[in-house]
Structure 1
Amino acid sequence: MGFTMGLNLLLLMAMVATNILSLYHLSSTIQPKQPPSPLQQPVPDQLLQQLHTIRATINHLTRLQPTTTTTTTKPKSTIPSDLLLYSHISPIASSCHSHPDLLHRYMNYTPFAICPLDTELAEALILRGCHPLPRRRCFTKTPQKPTSQLPSNPFPSSLPDSAVVWTKYNCKSFTCLNRFNQYKGFNTTIADTTFMSYKSDLDLPIPQLLQISKAASSVIRLGVDIGGGTGAFAARMKLHNVTVVSTTMNLGAPYSEVVALRGLVPLHVPLQQRLPVFDGVVDLVRCGHAVNRWIPVTAMEFLFFDVDRVLRGGGYLWLDHFFSKGVDLEKLYKPLIGKLGYKKVKWATGNKMDSSGVKNGEVYLTALLQKPIPK
C-alpha cells in the first residue's frame, strides 16, 4: 500500500512539472500577431530535454504501475495463450532465428549454381516453422532426360526411372521402391484397389462417398487430401472428374515426386501450415493417416478450424482411420471435433489391432462430417 501511494505521489509531481514546463513553452513561443524580436531567446535545448525526460518517465511508471491495490498481484498478460503457442508452431519465417545451425547449413550453397539435394534439411526447417525458406539464388535440379510423354492414367503400370533426381534414399529407382514398399503407394497395381473396397465399418469406399453426396444434392468437385502420401486418393477421385490436391512431405521417401508424375498436384506443406487455399471453396477435405494422436491438441484444433475455413457450406470433412487411445477419443478428440458443429453422416470406431494399438489401447475413428449451410 505504501509503495502504491508513493508511486501515485511521484506521478502527480511529474504531471505538475510537465504542465508548468508546457505552459512556459507555449507562453514563450506563441506570438501570432507580432514578429519575433531579434533579442528574444529561443527555448533552451536543456529545458526541452528535461520535458521529454519527464514525459518518458511518466510513460514508464504508468506501464509499471500495478493493476490492483495489492503489491502481490502480478499484472495479467493481454496476449491470449493460444496465440503464444501458435507463434511457436506456426510456419513463419521469424522462427528461423531459433535454429541458426540448421539455417546456416541450408544456406551454405554456391550462388547461381545447382541447389544442393538436401530435402531432408529443408523439411527439418519447415517442420520447425522456418518456412518459406529464403534460398533464392540457385537452380533446382531436374532430370537430365525428361520424359517426353507422361501417362494420362493416374494409375500407370510403372513410373519412369528417368525422372529420378533424389540421392539420399536407399532405393535409387521406382522399381526398387515398388519392390520394397508395396503398401506405401509406390506399387500402383496395389494402389489401384485403394478406396474401392469395404471390409469393415471403418472403410468408406469412394462410390459410397459419392452416393452420399448425390443423395444430399451436394456436388463434390474440389478437394484437399491432407497427408496424401503418393496421391492414391487424388488419383482415384480424378477418375470421377474430381480435382484433389494432396499435401505431402518427403519424410523417408519421394512422395511429392510420385504425386506429380501421376499428373496430380503435391502441396509441399506441413500439418501446422495454413492451407494455401481460398476461403469457402472446397467441397471435401480428407484427413489421412498423418492426422492422428501425435499432433498436439491445440495444433489439431487450429488444423480443424482451418479446414472449416476452406470448406464451403454443405462440404464434407472426412477423418479416415484417425487413431488415438480409446480414453482420449472420448475425453479429448470427440469434444474437439464437436466444436465444429458439423452433422455426423458417418461415425464408426474400432480397435487398432496391430502391436502398437494393442499395447496402447488405441482405437480407429472414421467419420464423415458435413458443414452446415448458412441460413
Structure 2
Amino acid sequence: MGFNMGPNLLLLMAMVATNILSLYHLSSTLQSPKPPTPQPVPDQLLHQLHTIRATINHLTRLQHTTTSNTPATSTTTTIKTSIPSDLLLYSQLSTIASSCQNHPDLLHKYMSYTPFALCPLDSDLAESLILRGCHPLPRRRCFSRTPPKPTSSLPENPFPSSLPDSGVIWNKYTCKSFDCLNRFNPNLGFHPAHEITKFMSYKSELDLPIPQLLQIAKAANSVLRLGLDIGGGTGTFAARMKLYNVTVVTTTMNLAAPYDEAVALRGLVPLHVPLQQRFPLFDGVVDLVRCGHAVNRWIPLTVMEFLFYDVDRVLRGGGYLWLDHFFSKGVDLDKVYAPLIGKLGYRKVKWATGLKTDTGGLKNGEVYLTALLQKPVSR
C-alpha cells in the first residue's frame, strides 16, 4: 500500500495541474480583446475632480456631524440638519465655466476664428454665453478690433455735450450713432448733458439725492470713497459721484446698445459682468453699493439672495447698500423681499415705499422701495 501511494499522489498532482492549465488556456481564449490603453488624464481635470470630491466629502462629514449632535425628542422624531438646503443643492453645481458644455454650438461658434488675424465682430456672441453662465476664456491668438476712425481726443467732463460716435464699433447695432439711440429712446442715458440733473433733486420720499446721501454719511462719520453701481446703464451715477471725488465702477451689459463703451467714453470704469456673476472685487473694499433699475423682481429669488450676499462680501464694515427704486408686487415686498433683505442684518437708515404708477405697475400691483441700509461695523 505504501509502495503505490507515491505514484498515485504524483498522478493526482499531474491531473490537477493539467486541468488548471487547461482552464487557464480556455479562459484566455474566451476573453474579449483588450481595450485600448486609456489616455492620461490632464492634471487640471484631476485637480478639479479632487476639489469636487473634497467638497462633497466635507459636506458629507459636516452633515453627519450636525445630525449626530442634534438631540432627538423621541426615537420616532426625524433629526433635521442645520445645513441650509440651498447650500446642499448648489454644492452640486459644477466648477467654473463648466456650464459652457450646455451650449456647445455657441461655444464652438465663438472659438471658430482665424489665428493671428483680427478677431471676428461678434462681441454679442460672447455676451450670449456670459448671460447663460458660460464665461469663455478670451481668444488667445487673434487681435481685438478698434473703431475704424477713433477720435483723437476724449472728454474729461463726465457730462459732455455729446459722446463721440467714433469711439464705438457699430456693426452689430441697429442704430449707428448716439443720436439715433437718443431719438429711439431719450431715457436710455446716451445723452450725458441731459443726465446731469439725475440723482440731484428730491420729488418724493422715494428719492435720495446725492447731497443728502453724503450728508448722512458725514453725520455718521463714514467716509464715501469707493462705490459699486450694479446695472448702472451708461454710468450716470458714477459720473455724478466723480464730481464729488468718489470713485464708482459700474456693472453693465451691452444689451442692444453700447453701454460699456458709453461708460468708458465718459472717463469711467465699466465692469462687463451679468447680475449672477460674482463681483470681481476683493472682500470689504467698497464704501457704497447702489442697486439700480436692473435689480428688481424679475431676478430669480435664489439669484437675488446670492447677489445680496455678494454685496455684503464686498462692502466694508459700516458701508452702505442703497436700493434705488426697487420694485415688486406689494404683497411680495412684505412676504418675500423685506425678509430677504432683513437677513443681512443691516441698520435701516431709510426705508420708503410708494406705488409704481406707470401702466405696468398699476397692472401688476407693483410698489417701489427705496432703502439705504448700513452694514454693521463689526461682526
TM-score normalized with structure 1 length: 0.76
The question of 1:94 aligning with 2:104 is answered: no
Shift of 1:77: 11
Q: Which amino acid aligns with 1:100?
A: P
**Secondary structure, aligned partner of 1:277:** coil
1:371 & 1:343 partners in 2: Cα distance? 7
> Are the aligned partners of 1:117 and 1:166 in contact in 2 as well (CA < 8 Å)?
no
**SS of structure 2 residue aligned to 1:341:** coil
Task: Give the secondary structure class of the aligned counterpart of 1:183.
Answer: helix
Alpha-carbon spacing, 1:268–1:89, altered in 2? closer, same or farther (3 Å): farther
How far apart, CA to CA, are the structure 2 residues paired with 1:85 and 1:186? 42
1:76-87 paired onto structure 2 within 5 Å = 81-83=85-87, 86=90
Match of 1:210 among 214, 230, 238: 214
Q: Does 1:115 align with 2:119?
A: yes
Distance 2:242 2:188 in 1: 20
Tell me what 2:247 maps to: 243
> Counterparts of 1:321 and 1:219 in 2: how far apart (Å)?
24
Q: Taking structure 1 as reference, are residues 176 and 274 closer, same or farther at Cα in structure 2, changes over 3 Å only?
A: same
Distance in 1 between residues matched to 2:124 and 2:342, nearest whole Å: 36
Match status 1:285 vs 2:271: no
Q: Is the 8 A contact 2:318 2:376 kept in 1?
A: yes
Q: Which residue of 2 aligns with 1:32?
A: none
Counterpart of 2:239 in 1: which secondary structure?
helix
Paired residue for 2:191?
Answer: 187
| Contact 1:90/1:273, CA 8 A, preserved across alignment | no
1:229-268 superposed matches below 5 A: 229-268=233-272
Deviation of 1:147 (Å):
2.0
Report what 1:158 is aligned to: 162
Q: Is 1:321 equivalent to 2:325 in the alignment?
A: yes
Q: Is the 8 A contact 2:284 2:313 kept in 1?
A: yes
Q: Which amino acid aligns with 2:367?
A: V
**SS of equivalent to 1:105:** helix
Deviations 1:92-134 (A, max 9, x none): 3111001111111211222222212222221111011111435
- The change in CA–CA distance for 1:90 and 1:131 in structure 2 (over 3 A counts) is farther
Do the aligned partners of residues 88 and 239 (structure 1) sit closer, same or farther apart at CA in structure 2, a change above 3 Å counting?
A: farther
- 1:372 aligned to 2:376? yes
- What corresponds to 2:153 in structure 1? 149
Q: Following the alignment from structure 1 to structure 2, what is the Cα–Cα distance between the partners of residues 374 and 119?
A: 42
The amino acid across from 1:103 in the alignment is L
TM value normalised by structure 2: 0.75
Cα deviation for residue 178 of structure 1 reads: 2.4
- Decide whether the 8 Å contact of 1:91 with 1:126 is kept in 2: no
Does 2:332 correspond to 1:349? no
Query: How many Å separate the matches in 1 of 2:244 and 2:163?
Result: 22
> Where do 1:24-103 residues align within 5 Å?
81-83=85-87, 86=90, 92-103=96-107
Where does residue 177 of structure 2 map in the other structure? 173
Q: Deviations over 1:152-190 (max 9, x none)?
A: 100000111211212121110122222322111101122
Is the CA contact (8 Å cut-off) linking 2:296 and 2:328 kept in structure 1? yes
1:276 match:
280
The residue that corresponds to 1:106 in the other structure is 110
Q: Secondary structure at the match of 1:321?
A: strand
Tell me which residue corresponds to 2:19: none
Give the Cα separation in 2 of the matches to 1:177 and 1:269.
22
Letter in 2 for 1:371: K
Task: Give the share of equivalent positions with the same residue, in percent.
Answer: 80
Q: 1:154 to 1:134 in 2, by over 3 A?
A: closer
Per the alignment, in what secondary structure is the counterpart of residue 373 of structure 2?
A: strand
Asked if the contact 1:181/1:187 (under 8 Å) is kept, the reply is no
Residue 343 (structure 2) aligns with: 339
Report if aligned partners of 2:168, 2:258 keep a CA contact under 8 Å in 1.
no
Q: Higher mean Cα deviation, 255-264 or 293-302? A: 293-302
Partner of 1:296: 300
What SS class does the counterpart of residue 98 from structure 2 fall into?
helix
Q: Is the 8 A contact 2:199 2:210 kept in 1?
A: yes
Cα distance in 2, alignment partners of residues 260 and 87 from structure 1? 37
C-alpha separation between the residues in 2 aligned to 1:118 and 1:87? 34
Amino acid of the structure 2 residue aligned with 1:248: T
Cα deviation for residue 144 of structure 1 reads 2.6
CA distance in structure 2 between the aligned counterparts of 1:184 and 1:338, rounded to whole angstroms: 32
Deviation at 1:89, TM superposition (A): 8.4
Unaligned runs of 5+ residues in structure 1 are 1-75
2:349 is the alignment partner of 1:310: no
CA distance in 1, matches of 2:111, 2:230: 29
* CA spacing shift, 1:346–1:271, aligned 2, 3 Å: same
Relative distance call for 1:81 and 1:167 in structure 2 (3 A) is: farther
CA distance in 2, matches of 1:333, 1:88: 26
- Of 183, 189, 199, which aligns to 2:203? 199
